A and B are shown apart, each in its own frame.
Chain A
Amino acid sequence: MNPIWAHILTLVLVLLVMVTIAAGLIYVERRMLAVWQDRLGPNRVGPFGLLQVMADMIKIFFKEDWIPKFADKRVFVLAPMIVMISILMTFAVIPFTPLISVVNLNIGLLFFLAMSSLGAYSIVLAGWASNNKYSLLGAIRGSAQMLSYEVFMGLSLMGVVVMAGSFNLHDIVMAQNKVWYFIPQIVGFVVFFIAGIAETHRLPFDIPEAESELVAGYHSEYSGMKFGMFFVGEYLGITLISALIVTLYFGGWRGPHFLPPVIWFLIKMFVFILIFILMRASLPRPRYDQLMSYGWKILLPLSLLNLLITGACVLYFK
């Protein structure tokens, strides 16, 4: 087949699969939350309630897509697009198998950091454009949280980069042929995981959209498909962070040979997605200053120390 067509096919495939997984997570999350809370969850629409996703989609598509009169219209429309685009762009650099990856970028990890830092705009702009005090408060919290946690996220990743000697995600997976990086990089893994939760502003770090304090935070004024984009964007974020954890710390597509690599990748990814959901089911939300001081006073020194020790070890054993 023509390589360009193969390339486009991969692109479309990855996009479709990821958006489908993200939409499916709406069902998975509700169901798993219920399972962990002794309930049953959605089980009416279709077999095991699987068509609940379809019902939700139809509902969200046919809702009135209302833009408040007091909102800044252009920015209001722009904000939900940014979240989708910035996250979907990042999937381009993730190697799902040795063969399936959209682009083999030699700055893959930096590309992820760049895109996740652009993701902060969606929150800031959504909150500002809504012209609503709760949204603005959510936006302020969200931007401060994402900016600070990006720092530790980047620093915790540098340990992996030092060990693999490359920003390329393919090379990082290839370098994990002896041992998966979560063993030597356990500190980096923990910091990255926590920063990842804060970055996707999931519970327990969902402070920008804390329902009990800020209505719905930065997306209070959104409805219909624009809200749906934020909603799916959140699940895409979970999928992305899980995929990155798998790629960086859990050997990507590697696994025993009785299953194809892509299956291994998806299995590992879903384990982490489930851990994300489990965290939502079990942990309470910290206070805002607790979140910030936890980040700057514990995670930042920890990730710096991790980077220093990793660098020293790499130099010593070389």
Chain B
Amino acid sequence: MNVIFYIASIIAILATIMVITGRNAIHSLLFLIVSLLAIGVVFFTLGAPFMAALEVIIYAGAIMVLFVFVIMMLNLGKAYEKMEESWFSYKAWLGPGILCIILLGELIYVFTVTKGSGRQLTVISPQEVGMTLFGPYILGVELAAMLLMTGIIGAYHIGRRKQKEYHRLLQKEEEPA
């Protein structure tokens, strides 16, 4: 399992780097999907199969399809790739780069300080996940449900069909009503 864990993590990191450096939007998204799948494998090796499955179903399977969908519709061509190249200027990436390096340093520091925490792998079954969600974390679940409900209502409101348009000859008949 250890070997698989490391392979999957390396793939995840490499794929994420490819996401950042890629020029083509769709290719970047594909690498992002690969990265998500690799993270799913990481979850699986860490003893959270339910989490791994949800990662693949929801992130890789549903959300990323929508991303691909939207970018497909935008129909970005060669001109857009040129434009994106100009964004990779020195000024643009310097600030975020420094911040990321600081974060990376902190991450390495944390890992080196808290070494040998003796991670005990326990496989968590779907039942346990359910018990936890609807036990101690019921409030969070309810809040998330409410948020989703508002989202659905909002989407319905936006997507609702506007007032019916009539043919110009029929408009006069409809006006008095």
B-side binding surface: helix, strand, loop or mixed? helix
Instruction: Check B65–A143 contact: CB distance below 8 A.
Output: yes
A-side contacts of B68, CB under 8 Å: 121, 124-125, 128, 143
What string of 1s and 0s marks CB contacts (under 8 Å) between A118-138 and chain B? Answer: 101100110110000000100
B-side contacts of A106, CB under 8 Å: 49, 125-126
Name the distance in Å between B34's Cβ and chain A's nearest Cβ: 11
Jot down 25 A-B pairs with beta carbons below 8 A, ordered by A.
A105-B49, A107-B49, A107-B50, A110-B50, A110-B54, A111-B53, A113-B53, A114-B40, A114-B56, A114-B61, A117-B60, A121-B33, A121-B65, A121-B68, A124-B65, A124-B68, A127-B72, A136-B72, A143-B65, A143-B69, A147-B65, A147-B66, A150-B61, A150-B62, A154-B57
B-side contacts of A147, CB under 8 Å: 62, 65-66
Residue of A114, A117, A121, A167 touching B126 (CB-CB under 8 A): A167
Name the distance in Å between A147's Cβ and chain B's nearest Cβ: 6
A83 CA to B56 CA, complexed, in Å = 16
B-side contacts of A136, CB under 8 Å: 72
A-side binding surface: helix, strand, loop or mixed? helix
Name the distance in Å between A133's Cβ and chain B's nearest Cβ: 10
A117-B125 contact, Cβ under 8 Å, with A75-B30, A128-B72: no
A2 CA to B47 CA, complexed, in Å = 27
Instruction: Check A120–B53 contact: CB distance below 8 A.
Output: no
A167 CA to B24 CA, complexed, in Å = 39
Query: CB within 8 Å of A: which of B49-106?
Result: 49-50, 52-54, 56-57, 60-62, 65-66, 68-69, 72-73
Is A274 at the interface (CB under 8 A from chain B)?
no
A105 CA to B49 CA, complexed, in Å = 9
Chain A residues engaging chain B, CB cutoff 8 angstroms:
72, 74-75, 78, 105-107, 110-111, 113-114, 117-118, 120-121, 124-125, 127-128, 136, 139-140, 143-144, 147, 150, 154, 167
Instruction: Check B56–A117 contact: CB distance below 8 A.
Output: yes
Supplied contacts A118-B60, A118-B61, A121-B65, 15 more A-B pairs, CB within 8 Å: A75-B30, A105-B49, A106-B49, A110-B53, A113-B53, A117-B56, A117-B60, A117-B65, A120-B61, A121-B33, A124-B68, A128-B72, A147-B62, A147-B66, A154-B57
Residue of B33, B57, B69, B72 touching A114 (CB-CB under 8 A): B57
B-side contacts of A75, CB under 8 Å: 26-27, 30
A235 CA to B78 CA, complexed, in Å = 37
Instruction: Check B73–A140 contact: CB distance below 8 A.
Output: yes
A-side contacts of B125, CB under 8 Å: 106
Q: Smallest CB-CB separation from B73: which chain A residue?
A: A140
Interface residue count for B (Cβ, 8 Å)? 24
A104 CA to B20 CA, complexed, in Å = 38
A40 CA to B165 CA, complexed, in Å = 52
B-side contacts of A125, CB under 8 Å: 26, 30, 68
A136 CA to B73 CA, complexed, in Å = 9
For the complex of A and B, list the 10 residue pairs with the smallest distance between their C-beta atoms, beginning with the closest.
A117-B61, A110-B53, A114-B56, A107-B49, A114-B57, A107-B53, A128-B72, A113-B57, A114-B53, A120-B65
A13 CA to B170 CA, complexed, in Å = 68
Q: Smallest CB-CB separation from A116: which chain B residue?
A: B61
A-side contacts of B57, CB under 8 Å: 110, 113-114, 117, 154
A74 CA to B125 CA, complexed, in Å = 38
A125 CA to B69 CA, complexed, in Å = 10
Q: Smallest CB-CB separation from A129: which chain B residue?
A: B26
A74 CA to B24 CA, complexed, in Å = 12
A-side contacts of B54, CB under 8 Å: 110
Name the distance in Å between B2's Cβ and chain A's nearest Cβ: 18
Name the distance in Å between A288's Cβ and chain B's nearest Cβ: 15
A72-B69 contact, Cβ under 8 Å, with A106-B49, A114-B57: no
A144 CA to B65 CA, complexed, in Å = 9
Instruction: Check B30–A140 contact: CB distance below 8 A.
Output: no
B-side contacts of A127, CB under 8 Å: 72
A256 CA to B73 CA, complexed, in Å = 54
